[in-house]
Amino acid sequence: MKLTVFYFDPNVSSMFVEKTDETGNKFYTLSSPYNFVYRDEIVARVIEVDDPADVVYHLDSGYKYYKSEKFKPFKAGDGIIFDSISGCYRASDYGFVVYDQRISRIQLKLPLQISKDKLKASYIIFPTKFLKLPVYKDIEQQLLANKIVGIIDKNEIESQMNEIDPHNPKVHRILVARGREPVNGYDDYYIPLVQIEKKAGKLLDDGRIDFKEIGGIIEIKKGQEVLQKIPGIKPEDGFDIYGEKVEATIVQKDGYYPGSNIVPSESNPLIFVSQIDGCLDIEGKTLSVLPVAIIKGDVNYESGNIDFDGSVQIMGSVLPGFTVNATGDIYVDKNVDDARLTANGDIVVKLGIGGKGEAKIIAGGYVKAKFVLNSSIEALGKIEIEDSIINSTVFSNDAVIVTGRHGKIIGGETTARHEIIVNVAGSQLQNITKLTAGKSLIVERELAELR
């Protein structure tokens, strides 16, 4: 009877196998401690026996672990040589021996693990059956045979190997080769030195949150630090363990860039400051400081209430319940609906001012709008309305003028210090329309305070 005696486990095909612990976590472990061999160790032999039980009498001296199978022709693959003198198959180097049953071939796997980026190579060491370990020369020859040129210093490798005890069999991974990682570069970019994120809201004394107070306008003073420049870095290519170039790339940093009225500081060219008093404007990744606060849409819960030391331009409407305060002028491209606007300068509303009686406009200059409905307006300058004033309280310290050909004032109370100019006043179908000229808004305010 012809048998093949394997001095290793022929049923494993890889150095490590995946297993699952009691908690369901997966891990890798050594597939067989018997498959690590050193140079000249016997890995297999073909024998003739009458009884399979007689295999033990044919084992080579010192080889206790074995597995025997009915002989099938096989070949010696990489790292395996046939010793014609002793009639056995031996390992030509240190490594992990496997039997590939698909192609009937015994071969030696080099115990090398190379990282996916090819920047590092580790060497797997486990004592053989005869407690043998590879030496530096073995490792060096195997690396060079595999065209690995990035071998680390000999002393560094031997220092790691000196920590391995062959009498305490454990799997060891030692670093044997490394490349040089590329240093990715990036262009100049800037980080903000001011808070640019809106607040969630303002915490009130009673514990509630006012979601209208989110700090949507960020005031900037002249000379205030706004951005810090982070100088770019030139990319440097690296190389892998095979000596091949690893190209560096230009990384896009998540930063900002200076826009209008933001310039380098005189004392520090890496710090950028504002040239003017104004409002921070964010357009994509560009920060600017504008003399006018621009709200690119409605004044709503997204913008919050507006309070700005300067002029404000609103490209939408002011929605119910919101307030806009400005030390300069206020320009509204659409409507003011049951909202409160206060300005030291002029207030201009391209469409109408209206609602259900909650809209209030107070201006230190003039007020202009297309129409006024169920609203209250006070202005130290003229109040010019294009179409109509209906059921509203209007007081100008100068004049109230309804400019349209069919302009009208119906209901409510309209007061001016100098004059009221309108084509149609009152209506038989409406409540009383009260018009008064000759009263001073300033005097009336002082009298109201005395009362």
Each residue's pLDDT tens digit, 122-179: 999 999 999 999 999 999 999 999 999 999 999 999 999 999 999 998 999 999 999 9
For residues 271 and 208, the model is more confident at 271
Percentage of residues of the chain with pLDDT beyond 70: 97
For residue 63, pLDDT over 90 is answered with yes
Torsional sign, CA 250, 252, 258, 259: positive
**pLDDT score of 200:** 64
pLDDT of residue 428: 78
Q: How far apart are CA 363 and CA 372, in angstroms?
A: 15
Average pLDDT of the residues in 60-71:
95
DSSP bridge pairs for 212 = none
| Least-confidence region, from 98-112, 116-130, 315-329, 429-443 | 429-443
CB 372 within 8 A of CB 388: yes
The C-alpha atoms of residue 256 and residue 196 are separated, in whole angstroms, by 11
Report how far residue 247's alpha carbon sits from residue 185's, in angstroms, rounded to the nearest whole number.
Answer: 11
pTM (2 decimals)? 0.61
Residue 318 clears pLDDT 80, i.e. is over it: yes
Average pLDDT, stretch 81-104? Answer: 96
Q: How much is the pLDDT for 430?
A: 67
Backbone angles phi, psi at 139, to 5 degrees: -65, -45
Per-residue pLDDT tens over the stretch 217-262: 888 999 999 999 999 999 999 999 999 999 999 998 889 999 999 9
Residue-level pLDDT at 202:
73
Residue 445 has pLDDT above 90, yes or no: no
Average per-residue pLDDT for the chain: 93
At residue 199, the pLDDT reads 67
How far apart are alpha carbons 175 and 449 in whole angstroms?
Answer: 85
Statement: residue 400 has pLDDT above 80: yes
Q: According to the model, what pLDDT value does residue 312 have?
A: 94
pLDDT tens string 227-239: 999 999 999 999 9
pLDDT band at 449 (very low <50, low <70, confident <90, very high): confident
Q: Which of 185-189, 200-204, 344-348, 438-442 has the lowest mean pLDDT?
A: 200-204
Q: What is the pLDDT of residue 441?
A: 81
Which percentage of the chain shows pLDDT scores above 90?
84
Pairwise pLDDT comparison (170 vs 429), residue with the higher score:
170
Q: What is the pLDDT of residue 258?
A: 95
Given this model, what pLDDT does residue 104 score? 95
